[in-house]
Amino acid sequence: MKKLKVGIIGCGTIGNEIAASCMGLLKDKVELKALYDIDRKKAEGLSRLIKRDITVDSMDMLFDKADLIVESASAGISRKVVEKAVEKSKDVMIMSIGGLIQSEGLLKEAGKKNIRVYFPSGAVCGIDGLKAARLSGIESVTLTTRKPPGGLEGAPYLKEKNINVHSIKGEKVLFRGNPLEAVKGFPKNINVASVLSLAGIGAKKTKVRIITSPGYTKNVHEIEITGDFGSIRTRTENVPSRKNPKTSALAILSAIATLKGIVESIKIGT
């Protein structure tokens, strides 16, 4: 059986875990062909970790070696990755979905060329129900995210508002708005809002709240959906990744599960 050739762009926490799954859990169906990171030392470090010298010097080189490109870098590069996929007719899996929240035209262009663009559900449950509900009519989608202060540190919104999250004593609502505003203010924290927007009623109509407290120990995402179908309420309590508190462990597992689903013949769920 021919293996799927995979290349990874972005060799941080998520990229490392996806690479490990390619070399372990998925090794019978996936061949990891190339690694690229703007910080070459990260790619080289991952190459040493998996004991394969597959670091490349550019995205173009990576695209030429792989059939499926996995982006696990940042929202600042995810659009460029999809543009390159359209140019080179390659399928992609995007982790930094926030970078594509206003890229409907680009995604349609990918669709016209039969390029598959995969967006993992990430750190939430309920995306399957949202996708189904969209076919009958959705009235509202609201995301409430609760994160420990350390998981939000360094966000542009906090700097702009001069908010020191470590000075907060109790539960505090930091942000209310839509995913467009949330992605701009919290680019490393709110991919969930982006995937909800794409699966549901769009970035302008979806509502987002971000709350923090020094008493929080988990990343918690609550989703409320109402429409002609009825209503859905989900609550996902995520343990932060031990290597990167800004990333939920479930988001990493979701990426691996998506890759697993791509190479398996049996498809479960919507």
Reported as a single tens digit per residue, the pLDDT across 251-263 is 999 999 999 999 9
Whether the predicted pLDDT of 1 surpasses 90 = no
pLDDT at 216: 93
Any catalytic annotation for residue 221?
yes
44-82 b/e (C-beta count within 10 Å ≥ 16 → b): eebbeebebebbbeebeebbebbebbbbbbbbebbbebb
Cβ neighbourhood burial of 242 (10 Å; 0-12, 13-18, 19+): exposed
- The whole-number pLDDT of residue 189 equals 77
Chain centroid to CA 185: how far? Answer: 16
pLDDT value, residue 138: 96
Q: According to the model, what pLDDT value does residue 190 have? A: 78
Tell me the average pLDDT across 108-118. Answer: 96
Block residue for tokens 């769009």: 202
Residues 12-23: what's their mean pLDDT?
A: 96
Residues belonging to the chain: 270
pLDDT for 192-207, tens place per residue? 999 999 999 999 999 9
In this structure, what are the phi and psi dihedrals at residue 23, rounded to the nearest 5 degrees?
Answer: -85, -15
Domain boundaries, the chain: 4-122+250-263, 127-240
Angle, CA 105 vertex, CA 103 and CA 111 arms, to 5°: 105
Give the DSSP letter of residue 18.
Answer: H
For domain 4-122+250-263, the CATH class is: alpha beta
Q: Is 202 helix (H, G, I), strand (E, B) or coil?
A: coil
The one catalytic residue in 33, 42, 221, 246 is 221
pLDDT tops 80 at residue 130? yes
- The CA distance from 53 to 252, in Å, is 24
Which residues are within 8 A (CB) of 38 and not within 5 positions of it... i.e. 6 or more apart?
A: 73, 77
User: Where does 127-240 sit in CATH, by number?
Assistant: 3.30.360.10
